Each structure stands twice: as C-alpha cells, then as structure tokens.
Homo-oligomer: A and B are copies of this chain.
Amino acid sequence: MIRAAIFDVFGTVVDWREGVAAAARDAFAAKGLDTDPHAFADAWRAEYQPAMQTVRSGARGYVALDQLHFENLGRVLARLGIADAFTEAEAWALNAAWEKLPPWPDSVAGIAAIRRQMIVAPCSNGSIALMTRLARFGGLPWDCILGADVARAYKPDPLAYRRSVAALRLAPPELLMVAAHNDDLAAARTEGLGTAFVPRPAEHGPGQVRDLAPTADWDFVAPDMIALASMLAE
C-alpha cells in the first residue's frame, strides 16, 4: 500500500534548462552580453553535482542548495569572463532563476491527480526556501516539502531518502520515489522505497543521451505524471 509519492524536481517536475536559460537571456540582454543562455544553463548545472559532493563527502557541513547555486554561479560567470558585469545583488537575482522554472506540461495536473490518492511531496536537493517559491511560481500542489533541507543531506546520500521517509512516519515501502533519473531511483530502491520512472528526454535539450529509458525494472514506468496517476489508481 503506497501512502506517499515523493518527487525529484529539477528535470522530473520542472524544466530547469529552459527556465534558467530564459532568466539568463533576460539578465544578459540587460547587460548587453551575447553569452549563449543555454550553454550558460548547462555550464551552471554542470557545477551542481561537484558542489553537492563536497557536502556528501563530509568535506563541508550541510549548506542549502541556494548557497551552492550562488557559489557555482560566481564560478561560471568568472570562467566566462563576465563576473564583473553583475553586482552581488544582481547575481542573487539571477540565482533566483531556480525558483522560477516552468513545470513540464503534465506536472501540475499529474501531481494533483496523485495527491487525490496519497501524500505528495518533493524529495529534491533544493531547499525548503527554493521548493516553496518554485511551488508558488508553478502551482505545484505539494502537501509538504521533504528532501535536502529536512534530511540535511543531498541525494543520493541514503540519509536523504531515509530521513524523508521518517519525516512522514512511514515505512520505506509505503513511499514511491518518482524521478526522471535512474540513479535517483536506484538509491531510493536500495533504501526500500518503491520506484517510478518518468522519462524527460528533453531535460538536457536536443541530443540528450542519458536517462532516455529505464535501466532497471522499476515498479512503474510512465510516459508522464498524468499516466502515472492513472497507473497508481488501478
């Protein structure tokens, strides 16, 4: 009996690449910069895992993703030679791009349909602050927010799943991890959670090569969130 569905968010629920590129396009245009916004989004995202790894490894205590994103932004702007174009306040404004990412077309309706059956919550590496603003921006109908800030650990650290499960006072098999990323589901399965794969073949833009198909026998494989809601209702 599944009592809660917890969701990866960046890539699975929202289109981070187009959202970040749109914010960057505006920010660069205001400065008269011709930096390619999609290449910028990809470069910023490429700093994501290494930054979290410093926390996962214990080299650094837990800090919220907002701060990591901001540090990563500074690094990417410097590498592009445009760091001086932005004041600190302007860089923080650009950092808020992660709070204004468009949901995939099926996300809101699909999550709402799943919510009629069970608890729904993000289990993202985004902070409570970030997830709260992102939910208000996109109309994501969460019951609560789980993930990194509650666990003070970054996926795929087992603690990120374990503490999210514990926060709902449920047993691992009573939760379903929903993600577009096979490695996220593999880590959730190791912790005893159910797994649902919803591929997002445009997450990384044209030419995406990873996570186009399930790499294991996940409990559910659905083309989108609305279809997943129907499978869960059966």
Name A residues whose Cβ lies closer than 8 Å to a Cβ of B.
Answer: 64, 66, 119, 121, 127-129, 131-133, 135-136, 142-146, 149-150, 167-170
- C-alpha spacing A169/B128, complex, angstroms: 9
Which residues of B have CB within 8 Å of A170?
129
Q: Which of B131, B133, B142, B169 contacts A129 (CB 8 A)?
A: B169
Query: What's the least CB distance linking A154 to chain B, in Å?
Result: 16
Extra inter-chain contacts (18) besides given A128-B167, A132-B168, CB under 8 Å: A64-B169, A119-B133, A119-B136, A127-B167, A127-B169, A128-B144, A128-B150, A128-B168, A129-B167, A129-B168, A131-B144, A132-B144, A135-B143, A142-B144, A144-B144, A149-B150, A149-B167, A150-B150
- C-alpha spacing A132/B168, complex, angstroms: 8
Query: What's the least CB distance linking A132 to chain B, in Å?
Result: 4
Asked if A66 contacts B129 (CB within 8 A), the reply is: no
Chain B residue at minimum C-beta to C-beta distance from A167 = B128
CB<8 Å pairs between A and B, sample of 12: A64-B169, A66-B169, A127-B169, A128-B144, A128-B146, A128-B167, A129-B168, A131-B144, A135-B143, A142-B144, A144-B144, A150-B150
Which residues of B have CB within 8 Å of A128?
144, 146, 150, 167-168
- C-alpha spacing A66/B131, complex, angstroms: 25
Which residues of B have CB within 8 Å of A149?
150, 167
Which residues of B have CB within 8 Å of A169?
64, 66, 127, 129
Query: What's the least CB distance linking A69 to chain B, in Å?
Result: 12
Would you list the 10 A-B pairs with minimal beta carbon distance, nearest first? A129-B169, A132-B144, A128-B167, A144-B145, A129-B168, A132-B143, A128-B144, A119-B132, A66-B169, A136-B143
